[in-house]
């Protein structure tokens, strides 16, 4: 018999066995086995009425149910740009810079009331105008970054599809080569080379998947979203649509709106004001001559800024033209490589070429498809950079709403 102790009531447990307490080891083993079974396989036992099921939390490797996964955010290019201008980190930084410039301008204006200084006030006004122009230019820079990342995400998705198709073709070729090898119609070296081609295709697919993940993370960063948040561009693939560009209109827009020109113009106005204020009987002659030289320097700087901007716009225009010329060439090369691959497979089935010849033709066709895709990507990027260089909203460019 067990020894009796009142401490066993009301949830009390003895720290050690009581005198005369002799547990049954078979009962202990059975209780332990039951405890482990309940912990490891709760689904095998009915849940008591009125008690909710218990869900394990934080189990590594346990995928979330489909209902727990967030839906991918589908965005057009314009929507992505607008989102970046509303909540992106680059926009927030530009807003803070503008606010600091505004405070500096207000401080300079207040100091002018206490101690008037036309030159100091003019410099403060020039700095404020420059800060506003820089903030406006940052919208274009943000839009260009988002557009490049958006196109890169689409390109990466297409690249993964191409790599997946390349892997499927390599596996089919391996199956065909294995069949011929088993029949004694193919050398072992050809079979090994075909298998190596499959391994390379698998490695290429994994590389492209990682690139796709990085492209999505970069676009999420620009949009001010969590890096791993699901994102899906509304545009399924990059397409080539040649744009008619007006170089004269682009140059006129750039010379009027580019930040470099605006700053140089402000420097000319400040130097001209300094010269006018120095023309009085109280300013030494050498100071007046120095102000004249400073004005000439500012005017020369303005001319150089205009020439530099014009050069950048013309270079961007030429880059677009070169990229547009490459697209049809790359597409033709891809079509030709596909035809050569088709013929190579027929010749392999006829036994006139080896499996290695087929895998080489397949790799050439895959690389030609990738080159055609990159040609379209390069054109879209060069077009976006041309619009940015011109500070010009031409057809096909992403809209910017500040």
- pLDDT single digits (tens) 255-286: 998 989 988 998 999 899 889 988 988 889 89
Euclidean distance between CA atoms 69 and 150, whole angstroms: 23
pLDDT for 2 equals 40
Residue 234 lies in a domain: no
Q: What count of residues does the chain have? A: 402
The answer to whether residue 211 sits within a structural domain is yes
The pLDDT value given to residue 68: 56
pLDDT at 283: 84
Find residue 265's DSSP bridge partners: none
Element (H, E) at 272: helix 259-278
The answer to whether residues 273 and 118 touch, using CB atoms and an 8 Å cutoff, is yes
Q: How much is the mean pLDDT over the chain?
A: 83
What's the total number of domains in the chain?
A: 1
Contact between 337 and 364 under an 8 Å Cβ cutoff? The reply is yes
Q: Which two tokens stand for residue 261?
A: 């020109």
Give dist(CA 271, CA 262) in Å, integer: 14
What pLDDT score was predicted for residue 393?
A: 67
Q: What is the mean pLDDT of residues 152-181?
A: 94
Distance CA 357, CA 346 (A): 12
Q: Looking at the domain assignment, is residue 259 inside a domain?
A: yes
| Cα–Cα dist 310/319, whole Å | 14
pLDDT in tens, 214-264: 999 999 999 999 999 999 999 999 999 999 999 999 999 999 989 899 889
pLDDT of residue 49: 40
In 3D space, the residue among 363, 388, 389, 160 whose CA is nearest the CA of residue 397 turns out to be 388
Alpha carbons 228 and 241: distance in angstroms, whole number? 32
Is residue 395 a part of any domain in this protein?
no
> What distance in Å separates the CA atoms of residue 130 and residue 248, rounded to the nearest whole number?
26
Asked if pLDDT for residue 304 goes beyond 80, the answer is yes
For residues 175-193, average pLDDT: 89
- Give the residue-averaged pLDDT of 310-336: 97
Decide if pLDDT at 202 tops 60. yes
pLDDT(36) > 90? no
Of 330, 321, 140, 150, nearest to 238 (Cα)? 150
Query: Which candidate, 256, 262, 3, places its Cα nearest to that of 127?
Result: 262
Spatial separation of the C-alpha atoms in residues 219 and 147, rounded to whole Å: 9
Domain that holds residue 315: 74-228+247-390
Output the 3-class SS for 58-103: CCCCCCCCHHHCCCCEEECHHHHHHHHHHHCHHHHHHHHHHHHHHH
Q: Which two tokens stand for residue 267?
A: 């420097």
Residue 69's pLDDT is what? 60
- 182: how many CB neighbours lie within 10 A of its CB? 10
Look at residue 12 and tell me if it is in a domain. Answer: no
DSSP string, 96-139: HHHHHHHHHHHHHHHHHHHS--HHHHHHHHHHHHHHHHHHHHHH
Q: Is 54 a residue whose pLDDT tops 60? A: no
- Bridge partners (DSSP) of residue 233 are 75
pTM: 0.76
Asked whether residue 63 is assigned to any structural domain, the reply reads no
What is the predicted pLDDT for the residue at 210? 98
For the stretch 324-347, pLDDT in tens is 999 999 999 999 999 999 999 999
CATH number of residue 98's parent domain: 1.20.1600.10
74 backbone dihedrals φ, ψ, rounded to 5°: -95, 125
Kindly tell me if the per-residue pLDDT of 207 is higher than 90: yes
pLDDT at 52 over 80: no
Rounded percentage of the chain residues whose pLDDT exceeds 90: 57
Would you say residue 153 lies in a domain?
A: yes
pLDDT band at 20 (very low <50, low <70, confident <90, very high): very low
- What pLDDT was estimated at residue 92? 93
3-state secondary structure of 238: coil
């Amino acid at each position: 018999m067990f020894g009796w102790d009142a401490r066993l009531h009301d949830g009390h447990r003895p720290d050690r066995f009581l005198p005369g307490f002799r547990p049954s080891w078979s009962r202990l083993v059975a209780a332990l086995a039951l405890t482990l079974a309940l912990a490891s396989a709760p689904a095998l036992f009915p849940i008591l009425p009125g008690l909710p099921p218990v869900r394990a939390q934080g189990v590594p490797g346990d995928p979330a149910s489909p209902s727990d996964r967030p839906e991918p955010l589908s965005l057009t290019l314009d929507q992505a740009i607008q989102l970046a201008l509303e909540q992106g980190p680059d926009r927030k930084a530009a807003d803070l810079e503008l606010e600091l410039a505004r405070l500096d301008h207000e401080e300079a204006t207040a100091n002018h009331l206490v101690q008037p200084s036309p030159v100091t006030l003019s410099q403060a006004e020039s700095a404020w105008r420059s800060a506003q122009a820089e903030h406006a230019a940052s919208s274009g820079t943000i839009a260009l970054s988002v557009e490049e990342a958006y196109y890169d995400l689409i390109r990466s998705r297409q690249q993964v599809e191409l790599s997946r198709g390349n892997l499927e073709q390599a596996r089919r070729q391996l199956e065909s080569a294995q069949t011929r090898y088993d029949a004694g119609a193919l050398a072992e070296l050809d079979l090994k080379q075909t298998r190596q081609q499959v391994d390379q295709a698998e490695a290429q697919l994994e590389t492209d998947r990682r690139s796709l993940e990085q492209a999505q993370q970069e676009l999420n960063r620009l949009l001010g979203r969590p890096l791993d948040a699901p994102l899906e561009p509304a545009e399924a693939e990059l397409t080539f649509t040649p744009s008619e560009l007006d170089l004269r209109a682009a140059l006129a827009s750039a010379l009027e709106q580019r930040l470099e020109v605006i700053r140089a113009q402000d420097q000319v106005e400040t130097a001209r004001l300094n010269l006018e204020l120095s023309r009085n009987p109280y300013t030494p002659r050498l100071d007046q001559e120095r102000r004249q030289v400073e004005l000439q320097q500012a005017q020369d700087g303005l001319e150089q800024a205009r020439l530099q901007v014009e050069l950048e716009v013309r270079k961007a225009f030429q880059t677009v033209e070169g990229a547009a010329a490459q697209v049809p060439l790359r597409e033709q090369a891809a079509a030709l490589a596909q035809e050569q691959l088709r013929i190579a497979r027929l010749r392999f089935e006829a036994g006139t070429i080896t499996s290695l010849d087929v895998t080489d033709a397949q790799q050439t066709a895959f690389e030609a498809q990738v080159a055609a895709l990159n040609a379209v990507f390069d054109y879209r990027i060069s077009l976006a950079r041309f619009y940015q260089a011109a500070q010009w909203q031409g057809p096909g460019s992403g809209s910017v709403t500040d």
